[in-house]
Structure 1
């Protein structure tokens, strides 16, 4: 069984992490291919379980997407204390009920994974509801779902 390794993303100058790079865990597949094992907080165009092409020694740098996982990624920036709030649990419960999960960074930035079989329109409406309720501001990092009606 392969052990997880880190792969590095070079980030655009304006990003939620205020950093030039981000590293994610990945499963090496051989031939410079890696399956991402967590969701990005700063990189755009990538999601959990995507297969990426990464090159270089040490921590390889991602140079492109090889295979789309069908997952979408959104980011939510929460206000102080929101993660523990009753209203957050209520709105998040709706996202969770359709299969969404999140990873948190310092409890105020969430990287939200929307699985391929989730209704993207429903997920987006819950994200908008959380924003309207003042729980978070959110952005789309990657939408891999079909959005044509």
Structure 2
């Protein structure tokens, strides 16, 4: 589920964001039940998000980051059967200025990913690959969105 470092660093982030984010809270997700279907677990999504932020050079490990990111995995739409499994994940992200408590960004990101028979013959494996791909694409879309933020000392704005 983690966005590769080469892909994460392909974006250019405002200097104020570089190594200045902490992952505050990740909610949602559902653990996989081995007797049923593959899911996106909250702990797994949190680990992938944390690693992806690190790969992008945005993560501050000191515990004193000026900005906090919260994520809420709202839903994961999955097919029950088929040859191609298209999974769509929906995550609400909030970026908070820790000094003021001001919410800088709140955005819901929906991303689909399809895994076909060519990716895996076994249906359970295809569904897992589609889940992981959808989560990875969602995190990648967040990173692209963070790259569009203009953060200045006294002004926070979103570029269009």
Q: Work out whether the TM-score is over 0.5.
A: no
Higher relative contact order structure (alpha carbons within 8 Å, sequence separation ≥ 6): 2
Which of 1 and 2 has greater Rg?
Answer: 2
Q: Which structure shows the bigger proportion of residues in helix conformation? A: 2
Q: Larger % of strand: which?
A: 1
Instruction: Give the TM-score of the pair, scaled to structure 1.
Output: 0.29
